[in-house]
Amino acid sequence: MISLTGSFVINTSASADEECTITIENHPFKDNDVVKLEFTDAGKKLKAFENNYLINVTATNTVGLKNFPDESIDENGDGVDIADINGKTGSCTLTLQSIKVPASSAVSPELQSLEPSAEIELFKLTFDKDVNGQTIDPYYYHAGTNEVKTNIVFNGQSYTALPVKVTGFNKTTKGTLPRPKFEIANTDSAISALLILYNPLHAELLRIKTCKKFLDASNFSSGSNASADPTAIFEADDRWYVDRVVNENPGTVVFELTGKIDMTNLRLPKRRYRESKVKI
């Protein structure tokens, strides 16, 4: 985990996201990262406000803590109002609680280079065998990001170019679990046809992020690529599961996804499921 020391200011006259601001030079944090706040040599009043917080990057070297509480309880069980610590300054430590560590050591140097290779996002969609009662071959797509409009081969597998939009994939350790959306083009009603054949419920979506320089040699006109590396991916085992069909129209189909933890001990009948109808 990353731990950094900074200086804090408590200002109860500020907005809710900036009642506690922390200055750290050249910090790596991003909006909605989860951090653990610890005050240095703090009295019991400040200690009462130590916790995990979502952060809001307010300036280049400054972050604000989201949902900073109006009151808390100290170690003796006594109530502490935020007005009691208004104007306090000092030192503190922020520890990043959620971070995506690259699955390959080749990824970090590439992302930190002055001219990093274009990011490539690949998707493997596998319909659930238990729900459908049969094994179904996976479907492979890529989002066509960074103006790559042709099919892509990675680790020997071809991924079809198809407009895809994904949102809400951020993972945190506080609050409700993320419910990402996976929107895919319904060209010639191809996805609608799949939904007629198969039940999408609990279908697994594996997301693979890599860089163009790590793709197979067959993607390049020269037919060679010395930097090809099928292990060079951003995050290992980035898997999500279809929870429901949010929208289906001639243009696109939108799936709402959930993490594996929401699937625990859940049993479903083997039936075909659509947003608009159920087929037994």
Tens digit of each residue's pLDDT (9 = 90 or more) over 176-188: 566 889 999 998 8
Tens digit of each residue's pLDDT (9 = 90 or more) over 53-77: 888 888 888 999 988 888 888 877 7
- The token duo for 278 is 């159920």
pLDDT at 147: 63
pTM over 0.85: no
> Does the pLDDT of residue 266 top 50, yes or no?
no
Q: Is the dihedral of CA 1, 54, 265, 278 positive or negative?
A: negative
> Does the pLDDT of residue 90 top 90, yes or no?
yes
Pair 59, 180: CB distance under 8 Å: no
For 1-8, what is the mean pLDDT? Answer: 85
Tens digit of each residue's pLDDT (9 = 90 or more) over 28-52: 888 877 888 999 977 888 998 998 8
Domain spans, the chain? 3-96, 107-272
Q: How many CB atoms lie within 10 A of CB 236?
A: 13
Q: Which fold has domain 3-96?
A: Elongation Factor Tu (Ef-tu); domain 3 (2.40.30)
Pair 186, 114: CB distance under 8 Å: no
